[in-house]
Amino acid sequence: MDEGFLLERGDGGLLSSTTWVAGAPEKAFLSGLRLSGKAIYTIKTFRCIECGYLDSYALTRQ
């Protein structure tokens, strides 16, 4: 397994999205987190219609 963290982007409304970023989070002076040079993946989540179990995958590299 690779270390990484979840990053939520957007205004917190319907247009926000969550991504997975490879590596440990590093503080940046202006933007809060340094993302330069890190692999960023789109997350896709599936839900079981019978029990509600959620399963998430980091699929597409941005």
Tokens for 29? 């002076």
Nearest-angstrom CA–CA distance, 30 and 10 = 17
Q: What is the pTM of this model?
A: 0.76
Q: Quick: pLDDT tens for 11-53.
A: 766 777 889 999 999 998 877 888 889 999 999 999 999 999 9
19, 24, 32, 59 from 10: Cα distances, Å:
11, 21, 14, 20
20, 21, 29, 42 from 60: Cα distances, Å:
10, 12, 28, 5
